[in-house]
Structure 1
Amino acid sequence: MRPLRLKARTHAYLDKRLTGASMDYRKVIALFIPILIDQAFIVGLNLVNTAMISSSGVAAVGAVSSVDSLNIFLINVFVAVATGGTVVVAQYKGSGDESMVAKAAAGTVASVALLSLGIGLAVAALHAPVLQVLFGRASADVLDNARVYLIGSSLSYLGIGIVQAVCGAMRGIGRSRVSLILSLIMNLLYVLLNILFINVLDMGVLGMTIAVNIARYTAALCAIVYILRIDVSLRLRLGQLLRVPWSMLKKIMAIGVPFAAEQMFFNGGKMLTQVFIVSMGTYAIATNAIGGTIALVYQIPAGALSLTLVTVVGQCIGGRNVEDARKFIKSFLWLSTYSFILMTAILLPLFHPMVSLFNPPADIVDDIFWVTLINAIAQIPLWAISFVLPAGLRAAGDARFTSIASMLSMWLFRIALGYVLGIVLGLGIIGVWLAMNCEWGVRGWLFLRRFRGDKWYAKRLV
């Protein structure tokens, strides 16, 4: 009898929290699980890759970490446009207009591919001045590794751009399993090739750049084959992917451009913070890299909830059901908070086995621990309102406010406070991370005020 009662209570709870007129909890869970697995693989494989490159020395870790800050900055620009596509596709799906769903999906792929190609070529051409800005005070070995990794990474942007565009469109429709499969192809291949090029052939950072290009373009080819040959419901043709439909692009950019601007300013601020860290020395760079990788592990369930919420709220708003959207946002905020409590309880006791994967110098282990502990505690009350909530607001069409709030809080609070705590007061890398955690609270407070009003769902996209 007890198993039956537990099952009934679980069903009742899920029905209360994750069921509305737009969709029931079974559909929400079906969306969430593949995205959760996807995020777990992405973060897990990132951890493995960072651990593998650490075998090439602290300079290699620092170079890869610092260039990845730029990579994240640039890749998030076209990922933001892909997110705009997800919102538009989801809202058309919620409205029941299947022909416009297909046009929105094609427009997303075409626009993101063009943008990612342009950004990649620009970075490859301008790599010298970029490296001078990022690594002007870094040691020669860090700079040499960074040059190889930056040029190699920029050449792979088109591949990951296509993958992100297709994944974004498929999540908007509700087919999150497709994005999971593409992500697994790309990331598993990346790890296997890294094992070959770094561990077996001892090619270091050069091997990592070769691996990332092969993995991303293989996944891009699979993505194109899927939407043209396998997914017959969209009925897309190659010609549709080679031209940008300007009328659809306007809708996609209404979400994508503010979000892209947010990502540029937000990650630009992180890069400026990276300049602080570079001035602290190679050990500080390595501490930041390892601490950031561990922090991503804690964020796996919450990150998956954030991505799932875009589709859920988008379809609710497309069907003109604001009450459902509000209900789902509240539920996802609580679920995200609970996930951080669970992840902290599981992972914090495992700190030393996790950090040993990176073979860090003994001098920085204590700093990594304090960074991890402070961040783990701060994430519980602050991460959901700072990252999950704006995902829901953006999916409803409220892209401009969320982007402006994020940009202002980043530049007026995190950077200034990070400089004061890290450099002026001499707290170093711990001061920089404390400033980041404080900024989450400021930004989250702004989003909560917005959510309590009615302006966040006032703009109609479709």
Structure 2
Amino acid sequence: MNKLELNIKPRTVSLLDKYFTGESIDYKKIFAIILPIFVDQAFLVLMSLLNTAMISSAGIAAVSAVSMVDSLNIFLVNVFIAIATGGTVIVAQYKGSGNAAMVSKTATQAITAVTVFSVLISALVIIFHTTTLNLLFGKAEADVFQNARIYLIGSCLSYPFIAIFQAVTGALRGVGETKPCLHLSLLMNLSNTILNVLLITIFKMGVDGLVISTILARILGMAAALVYVIKYNETVRFKIKNALRIDLSILKKVMFIGLPFAAEQIFFNGGKLLTQTFIVQLGTLSLTVYAIGNAIAMLFQIGPNSISIAIVTIVGQCMGRRNITDARKFIYSLIGLSSLVFVVAALILVPLFPVLIQLFHPPEEIIPTIFTLILIAAIAQPLLWSPSFIMPSALRAAGDSNFTSIASLLSMWLLRVILGYILGITLGYGIIGVWVAMIVEWGMRGLIFGWRFKGKKWYAHKLV
């Protein structure tokens, strides 16, 4: 037994060295970056799953309303995350080049930019919330629409808090400090879930309870994140007085990455939002199928999503050193690791479907359709998801933001939106047709980004 263990260990280390060690960074540092993000993503998805399950106790109108508004929330919150990602990329490259002063300045300016964006967007959506809901979901049933109105206003009030939280954790990820991000995320998400249990399950407050718990948890998360970078962190060294001074030269670099990504997120998630309007036409039961299907499918993506986030730091630091060989090697290796994780997740989660579905208390007649969606995703994800989502994160970390954004937009609108409408509505395949269009779009994205990666233009940008 001991001899076997001794034989396995060197082989494992040898494999890790072969695929995950280079001149810029070794496998220990790579997995030290990935693992806290993985735990963070696992908690985020599990909390989301539990929250969806808890709100399902308030009825399918509440589930449908939350699913509708969450599509809009993802659309808007991803704009803040996009700007924060601009900060992450530039921070990572300065970290790789060894410029500690610029690491601090860039992180501070990114937090300022994200705060301003979030306050403006929050105010605009609150002012025009009725118009927005009518435009997107005017055909929804009356009780679904009213729940959606309450949830949207409450979500908007929390935007600045989650935006600042994302900006701080983005800066920390840029310097490779993912453990504090994990602790902060756990604090925010666990408090959110505890409040949901209290307000939704015990006090039966439904959507009102969900809104209150979201706002309170995000305020706590923001406060904890700011206290950490002001008082306890030596790398980012955030100071409020420095955040109040705008440095245009730094902001220009952050926005070079952040703005194309923000535009991509607006149009990409806008396409997903438009797809949701197709599903509204199919009725409340179809909305519920889509909401539950997405919630379960996210479980499969915990590991690959973690790799997609971590690769920004890893490739960013390689590019800060101008080590293209390492960047290429790690991109190939991490895409392969992501596909392997998908296979493992499918082998574990597909047999557990009967247990998972019971969390949501769905009507019996929609369970077979939900299982079909999950089965399609389980087969397609190992082959198609990783190149289509991890590759653009890597290219963006190298500064190739314009190409990745344009390619993502074209594939989204030409395939997921138009093909989704043709399959789901025109040809009458319903929610299955919309889901298949999404899978086809993954495949096309992967081909486009793979072609770009084979050339030299993706690493020709010099940001720092």
- TM-score if structure 2 supplies the norm length? 0.99
Contact 2:92/2:317 (<8 A) preserved:
yes
The residue that corresponds to 1:75 in the other structure is 77
Count residues with an aligned counterpart.
462
- TM-score if structure 1 supplies the norm length? 0.99
1-structure distance, mates of 2:170, 2:197: 29
Letter in 2 for 1:87: V
1-structure distance, mates of 2:48, 2:292: 11
1-structure distance, mates of 2:352, 2:247: 50
Q: 1:117 deviation in Å?
A: 1.1
State percent identity of aligned pairs: 54
2:261 is aligned, of 256, 259, 281, to 259
Question: What aligned pairs does 1:225-304 form with structure 2 within 5 A after superposition?
Answer: 225-304=227-306
1:381 is aligned, of 377, 380, 383, to 383
Letter in 1 for 2:124: A
2:421 is aligned, of 386, 404, 419, to 419
Encode CA deviations 1:408-453: one digit per residue, 9 max, x unaligned.
0011111111011101111100100000000100111000000000
SS at match of 2:428: coil
Encode CA deviations 1:223-259: one digit per residue, 9 max, x unaligned.
1111111113433321122333221110001000111
The residue that corresponds to 1:180 in the other structure is 182
2:308 is aligned, of 299, 306, 320, to 306
Structure 1 residue 160 corresponds to structure 2 residue 157: no
Encode CA deviations 1:346-391: one digit per residue, 9 max, x unaligned.
0000011001100000111011000110111111100001000111
2-structure distance, mates of 1:102, 1:158: 22
Letter in 2 for 1:360: P
Q: Structure 1: where are the runs of 5+ without partners?
A: none
Q: 1:202 deviation in Å?
A: 0.8
Q: Structure 2: where are the runs of 5+ without partners?
A: none
Letter in 1 for 2:165: V
1:221 is aligned, of 220, 223, 246, to 223
Letter in 1 for 2:182: L
The residue that corresponds to 1:127 in the other structure is 129
1:205 is aligned, of 204, 207, 210, to 207
Q: 1:130 deviation in Å?
A: 0.6
2:455 is aligned, of 443, 453, 458, to 453
Question: What aligned pairs does 1:267-416 form with structure 2 within 5 A after superposition?
Answer: 267-416=269-418
Contact 2:268/2:408 (<8 A) preserved:
yes
1:428 is aligned, of 427, 430, 436, to 430
Closer, same or farther: CA 446–8 of 1 in aligned 2, 3 Å: same
2-structure distance, mates of 1:246, 1:192: 42
2-structure distance, mates of 1:456, 1:426: 41
SS at match of 1:349: coil
SS at match of 1:138: coil
Letter in 1 for 2:13: H
The residue that corresponds to 1:20 in the other structure is 22
Q: Which structure 1 residue ranges, 4+ long, deviate > 4 Å from structure 2?
A: none
**More off after superposition, 70-79 vs 234-243:** 234-243
Q: 1:134 deviation in Å?
A: 1.9
Encode CA deviations 1:122-173: one digit per residue, 9 max, x unaligned.
1111101011012211111001100000000000000000110000000000
Structure 1 residue 93 corresponds to structure 2 residue 95: yes
1-structure distance, mates of 2:445, 2:215: 36
Contact 2:62/2:147 (<8 A) preserved:
yes
2-structure distance, mates of 1:424, 1:443: 24
The residue that corresponds to 1:192 in the other structure is 194
1-structure distance, mates of 2:245, 2:62: 40
Letter in 2 for 1:386: S
2-structure distance, mates of 1:379, 1:268: 22
Contact 2:408/2:445 (<8 A) preserved:
yes
The residue that corresponds to 1:57 in the other structure is 59
